[in-house]
Amino acid sequence: MTAPIYKVKVLGAELLYACPEDQTLMRAMGWSTERSVPIGCRKGACGVCRIKILSGAFETSSQASRHITVEDATQGYVLGCRTRPNSDLVIDIPAGTQALIKKSAKISA
């Protein structure tokens, strides 16, 4: 049986990803040619993939509390590498994460 596939829209970037319900958001973004979130350790330890979910249903596995506090979680912040969609999602990339994307783009250029 094939897992449902959901749409993940990145606010302000005009990007849309397809993410199967059985994959993390980071895994789906990693397959895309357009990267909107930097990829770090992929285990929830580094916090590089911190995003905010604005709408939609999702589930997370354990997240390091130094990167996602209880208050952060109630506001929709998650680590993309530890989050799976249960519906279509709209996400936002926090300013700190956007700075990491710009820095890595300069390094690779």
In this structure, what token pair is assigned to residue 19? 């993410």
Phi–psi pair at 87, nearest 5 degrees: -165, 180
Distance between CA atoms of 59 and 12, rounded to whole angstroms?
Answer: 23
- Please report, as a single letter, which amino acid is at residue 96: G
> pLDDT (tens digit, 9 = 90+) per residue, 21-57?
999 998 888 766 566 667 777 777 788 889 999 999 9
Total tally of structural domains belonging to the chain: 1
Q: Which domain holds residue 27?
A: 5-108
pTM (predicted TM-score): 0.80
Distance between CA atoms of 1 and 20, rounded to whole angstroms?
Answer: 12
Residue showing tokens 């989050």: 83
**pLDDT recorded at residue 105:** 41
CB neighbourhood size of 53 (10 A)? 21
In angstroms, the Cα distances linking 35 to 30, 41, 48, 98 are 7, 16, 13, 11
CATH assignment at residue 81 = 3.10.20.30
**pLDDT recorded at residue 24:** 93
